[in-house]
């Protein structure tokens, strides 16, 4: 048995980058004719009910927590991307970043938004992401914390209970080459204590897209026998 959320058969593009929290879901595309990459909200308590939150070229890499959704969006000139959000409680759009640099791939938990920032390199959305760094933004205090140095690539962050995790290229022969995955390890950072720590140490096993929940970190990692699978790691002692 299944329920179809997207009932708009004439929508310009099918839904992508779906995230769910409680009775809400957000996705890129699928809710309006003639629009491209619009940000769509699905009410799970009313299957088939969908609302456009923002128009064309919004809705990339959505993340939803509580009353807030975040995503990255193309600026009007098309050269840069910002992280933007929507507050369901106030029905208002808000910016997490707003400058002439590219910020990508946000994730939100409670009042913390983490994202990847390309300000230290010469890359862009579809580039090699050289010197990509991880930043965290507090929606209450409006303070921004630089989590990684930008000396090497750090990608695909996630956050839970003040712990930030990401894919880290520091051990690669060329730590600013996004195309090499076998040297990537997963690292973490405690926003409260300022402590950085390594989560995985498995050279030669490609790793991508870490996700954290509680004291567990889930990683898309290559298997020793070929192919890939989702692996679970404990946070190291002292991480919290």
Asked if residue 116 and residue 59 are part of one domain, the reply reads: no
pLDDT digits (tens, 9 = 90+) for 219-235: 999 998 889 999 999 99
pTM score above 0.95: no
Percent of the chain that is helix, strand, coil (3-state, to 5): 0, 45, 55
Q: Which residue range forms the structural domain that includes residue 153?
A: 110-240
Q: Does 68 lie in the same domain as 154?
A: no
Total number of domains constituting the chain? 2
On whether both 70 and 126 belong to a single domain, the answer is no
Which pLDDT value is given to residue 119? 94
Residues 56 and 129 in one domain: no
pLDDT band of residue 49 (cuts 50, 70, 90) is confident
Chain segment 191-208, per-residue pLDDT in tens: 999 999 999 999 999 999
Residue 240 CA to residue 122 CA, distance in Å, equals 35
Q: Taking a C-beta distance cutoff of 8 angstroms, is the pair 1, 35 a contact?
A: no
Residue, of 3 and 128, whose pLDDT is higher? 128
């Amino acid at each position: 048995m299944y329920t179809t959320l997207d009932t708009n058969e004439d929508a310009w593009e099918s839904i992508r980058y779906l995230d769910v929290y409680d009775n809400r879901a957000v996705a890129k595309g699928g809710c309006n004719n003639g629009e491209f990459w619009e940000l769509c909200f699905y009410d799970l308590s009313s299957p088939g009910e969908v609302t456009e939150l923002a128009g064309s070229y919004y809705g990339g890499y959505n993340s939803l927590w509580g009353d807030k959704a975040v995503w990255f969006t193309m600026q009007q000139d098309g050269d840069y991307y910002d992280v933007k959000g929507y507050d369901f409680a106030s029905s208002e759009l808000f910016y997490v970043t707003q400058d002439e640099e590219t910020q990508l791939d946000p994730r939100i938990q409670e009042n913390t938004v983490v994202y990847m920032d390309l300000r230290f390199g010469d890359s862009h959305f579809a580039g090699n992401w050289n010197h990509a760094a991880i930043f965290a933004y507090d929606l209450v205090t409006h303070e921004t914390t630089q989590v990684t140095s930008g000396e090497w690539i750090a990608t695909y962050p996630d956050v839970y209970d003040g712990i930030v995790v990401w894919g880290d290229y520091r051990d690669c022969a060329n730590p600013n080459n996004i195309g090499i995955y076998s040297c990537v390890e997963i690292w973490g950072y405690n926003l409260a204590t300022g402590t950085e720590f390594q989560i995985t140490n498995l050279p030669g096993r490609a790793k991508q897209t870490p996700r954290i929940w509680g004291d567990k970190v889930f990683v898309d990692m290559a298997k020793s026998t070929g192919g890939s699978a989702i692996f679970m790691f404990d946070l190291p002692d002292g991480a919290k």
